Amino acid sequence: MAEVEIGIGKTGRRAYGFDDIAIVPSRRTRDPEDVSIAWEIDAYRFELPLVASAMDGVVSPTTAIEIGRLGGLGVLNLEGLWTRYDDPEPLLDEIASLPEDTATARMQEIYAKPIEPDLITARVKQIRDAGVTVAASLTPQRTVQLAQTVLDSGVDLFVIQGTVVSAEHVSSRSEPLNLKRFIADLDVPVLVGGCATYQSALHLMRTGAAGILVGVGPGQANTTRGVLGIGVPMATSIADAAGARRDYLDESGGRYVHVIADGGMRTGGDVAKAIACGADAVMVGSPLARATEAPGRGWHWGHGSYHPELPRGTRVRVEPAGPLAQVLLGPARSDDGTTNLFGGLRRAMAMTGYSTIKEFQKVEVMVSPALLAEGRGQQRAQAVGTAGR
C-alpha cells in the first residue's frame, strides 16, 4: 500500500474511517426476509451479530439478560460497580448527577472499592439462571487473580479486554500474562482485544483466542486518542484484521478466528460498513446506552473513565432513543440510523444481494471523495470557529 510522506523523516499509511467509505450496490437485490444476520462463535449461535460492550452504563445483569433474549450477547464488566457493590443503583444515580468538573475525580473514588469475588459469582448466576449465554470481561491486569472465580461461576465466554492488548507484553517488574498458555488451559472460548493492526491481530489469533476485538480509541466515551495519541481509523483496522484472519486460516490449517469490530459505530450504516470491511460481529456501547433500560440513566462512560492514574475516557450525555428492542430491531422513529441498527444491516445486505454475514464481507466498498471532502470541510469550519472564539 502506498505511503504518504508526512515529512522528510516520516511516512505513514493512509487509513480510513467509516465516514470515508461507502458500500457499493451490486447487480442483485434480495428480499430482507431472506437475509440471515445470525452469527456463530464456538458452540454458540446468536441471531444478531451484536456483542454489547462491557461498560457499566450499558450492561447490567438485567440488560445482559434482555440483550440475550433479543438475540445478542451482553458482556458484563467484572471490574465495575456490579462486582464492587451489593446495590450499585445509588452509585449509578450519583454518577448521573455529578457536575462536569468533579465527575472524573468522584468516579475514581467510587471505583476504588475492592472487587468482591462473591459478587462475581452472584452476578454471573443471575444471568445464567435466565437461560441466556453468559459473557464477562476482565482486564489483563486482573485476569490471573480473578479468572478461576469467573470460570467457577459458570461463564460461557470469557473476554480479556484492555485499551491495547498484545500477545507480547514485556515487563521488568512482574511476570506478564502469557495469553497463549492461559487460553490453552481454559475450557471456555476467549475473546481478546483491543488491537488495531494486521500484526497485532495475527499475534492475538496465534494465542488460541476464539475471537479478537478490533478497535483502539474510537468510542464516543473514549479519549485514548487525545490522551495517548494512539489509534487507527476503524475501517482500516477491521480490514487489516480480516487480512490477518485469512492468513492465519492458511497458517493454522483451517482455524477461523472471529473478528469483532469494537467501537466507533453510531448508526446502522456504521454497523453495515464494519461487516463489509470484514467483521463477523460488532461490539457497541453508546447506541445501547441510549436505551431506556440502560443502567447509565442517560450517561455513558468507559473503562478508562475512572482509571486511578490516567483516565482515558469521559462521561458522555446520551439522549434516550427508546426501548432496547427498538434500538436494536426497530421500528425506527427517526431517520438518522441510530435506532433499528440491525434492521439497517439487514436492508444493506438485501440491497446488495447478500444473504449471510460471511457473504456480505465480500461486498465491494469504495473510498468516497465526497465524504472525505465533506469531513475536511467540517474540520475547517470547526477550526475557524475555534479560532474566532
Q: What are the cell numbers at 296? A: 447509565
The partner residues of 68 in beta bridges, in order of sequence, read none
Tell me what pLDDT residue 386 has.
Answer: 37
Tell me what pLDDT residue 284 has.
Answer: 96
Tell me what pLDDT residue 308 has.
Answer: 74
Query: Locate cell 492514574: which residue?
Result: 309
pTM of the model: 0.90
CA 296 to chain centre: 17
Tell me what pLDDT residue 114 has.
Answer: 96
Contact yes or no for 258/275 (Cβ under 8 A): no
Three-class secondary structure assignment of the chain? CCEEEEECCEEEECCCCHHHEEECCCCCCCCHHHCCCCEEECCEEECCCEEECCCCCCCCHHHHHHHHHHCCEEEEECCCHHHCCCCCHHHHHHHHHCCCCCHHHHHHHHCCCCCCHHHHHHHHHHHHHCCCCCEEEECHHHHHHHHHHHHHHCCCEEEEECCCCCCCCCCCCCCCCCHHHHHHCCCCCEEEEEECCHHHHHHHHCCCCCEEEECCCCCCCECHHHHCCCCCCHHHHHHHHHHHHHHHHHHCCCCCCEEEEECCCCCHHHHHHHHHCCCCEEEECHHHHCECCCCCCCEECCHHHHCCCCCCECCEECCCCECHHHHHHCCCCCCCCCCCHHHHHHHHHHHCCCCCHHHHCCCCEEECHHHHHHHHHHHHHHHHHHHHC
Tell me what pLDDT residue 162 has.
Answer: 81
| Tens digit of pLDDT at every position of the chain (389 positions) | 578 999 999 999 999 999 999 999 999 999 999 999 999 999 999 999 999 999 999 999 999 999 999 999 999 999 999 999 999 999 999 999 999 999 989 999 999 999 999 999 999 999 999 999 999 999 988 898 899 999 999 999 999 998 767 664 544 455 567 888 889 989 999 999 889 999 999 999 999 999 999 998 676 666 677 777 888 899 999 999 999 999 999 999 999 999 999 989 999 999 999 999 999 999 999 999 999 999 999 999 977 667 777 777 788 899 899 999 999 999 999 899 999 999 999 999 999 999 999 999 999 999 986 555 554 454 444 443 433 33
Rounded Cα distance, 320 and 338, in Å: 11
Tell me what pLDDT residue 120 has.
Answer: 97
- Residues comprising the chain, all counted: 389
Rounded Cα distance, 365 and 278, in Å: 11
Maximum Cα–Cα distance for the chain, whole Å? 61
Domains of the chain, with CATH numbers? 26-360 (3.20.20.70)
